[in-house]
Amino acid sequence: MKKFFLLLISLILSFTSTVTWAQEVITVEGPEGEDEEIVLPEGLTMEEDSLLQLWQSKMYLYTDSTCQNPNYNPPYPEETYRERLRRMPCVMEMPWNPIVQRFIDRYTNRLRRSVSIMLASGNFYIPIFEEALDLYGLPLELKYLPVIESALDPFAVSPAGATGLWQFMLGTGKQYGLRVNSLVDERKDPIKATFAAAKYLRDLYKIYGDWSLVIAAYNCGPGKVNQAIHRANGSRDYWEIYPYLPRETRGYVPAFIAANYIMTYYCEHNICAMQTRMPMATDTIVVSRDLHFSQIADLCNISIEAIKALNPQYKTQVVPGDWEPSVLRLPLETLNTLIDYKDSVYNYRADELFKRRSSVEVKEVVAPKPAPRVSKGKGRAKAGRKGSKGRRGKATSSRRASHSSKSAGKSSGRKKSSKSSSRKKRR
């Protein structure tokens, strides 16, 4: 039975070790005309339903009722796409080829509604992106990198663990100053993650000096790009090292070109951006004590969903101010209420919401008294030994008595026989 159990466990472990995440792929025409499967970036797999569930979408976005023919995508000749890409105001290279066209077609057909939502969501995030990119002297067209990374969802997490708008991996995020622990994940902070991404892109450009290679390295890491360059005999042209890149990276630069195209020429394809209501004004406060979202929601008249949407970096609805001063973003009206009733908010349901103990008492271990059973057992053993001796003594006595009586009988018999013989002699 034990062998069967161990065999079952080994089979389960061998099965789970081979399970992989399903990745969505598209078939494109390769450089030599062959069919080739390319893994889609995360941002091109997110449908409109998931994007509409975001708090910002539910609160501030609504459909443009004046949009005409929103489901019709007019056809254009290949030359039109080439010319539009050429005329785009950018410093990065945006060439056309069949692979780029395949990604443009995906945006203009299957992802039309997602593009409408992203165009509206860009009102929240694009100004942040542009500010950081401008600060570090980077091309502003990089602002559309999160479109293919996360579809502008700050809560996006890839199967590989890349997180946030800019899809930072854990190690890279920490390398660029983003805190990640059990309570906080600053990869989901739109502002901090954006400035960290700008620094990372700047550093990659110092290595390669080519923006297409920079974008490829942002996706798969400098090591994989360096390997591809080596296998391409030292070429630093993205389209020459293309066959040697990982499958998921081969589609990354074409998807980035397509994202820039669709965010620029969406009107030509009858895609209407969703309308945006004026969002509430917000501001930040530094919190120096642990604060739970429920404390704010109950006393400051705001939903937990709204607090979470404005502060996506907090993983457990706790602002860990005790650990270090932490930033909390709230609508102005809510923020003023928190400032006015700060102590009351901190103390409200604190014992209920913060159950983690800071210290505990350890019960003293009392030394056990000598077990009475042990002493009684010893007494019984001694008594038993004494009793056995007494019984053995009685038995021995009885045997001795029996032996004595037998001996006496024998001796009396011998005496009788001697008397009878003496009588015979006298006769």
Dump pLDDT digits (tens) for 312-368: 999 999 999 999 999 999 999 999 999 999 999 999 999 999 998 889 989 888 877
pLDDT > 90 in the chain, percent: 65
Taking the CA of residue 104 as centre, how many other CA atoms within 13 Å lie in the half-sphere pointing to its CB? 27
Confidence at residue 380, expressed as pLDDT on a 0 to 100 scale:
52
Grade residue 122 by pLDDT with cuts at 50, 70 and 90: very high
Q: For residue 81, report the phi and psi dihedrals to the nearest 5 degrees.
A: -65, -40
Is the pLDDT reported for residue 377 higher than 70? no
The pLDDT of residue 231 is above 70 = yes
Query: What's the pLDDT at 12?
Result: 29
Distance CA 243, CA 67 (A): 42
3-state secondary structure of 126: helix
pLDDT in tens, 98-108: 999 999 999 99
- Helix axes 252-265 and 78-87, enclosed angle (nearest 10): 80
Q: What is the reported pTM?
A: 0.78
Residues 65-74 pLDDT 10s = 888 888 999 9
Phi, psi of 354 (to 5 degrees): -115, 90
Determine the Cα–Cα distance for residues 218 and 317; give it in Å rounded to an integer. 31
Nearest of 142, 173, 155 to residue 257 by alpha carbon? 142
Q: Are 226 and 14 in contact (CB under 8 A)?
A: no
Domains in the chain (CATH in brackets) are 24-276 (1.10.530.10), 282-353 (no CATH)
- In tens, the pLDDT along 49-63 reads 788 888 888 888 989
How big is the CA angle at 46 (ends 84 and 191), to the nearest 5 degrees? 80
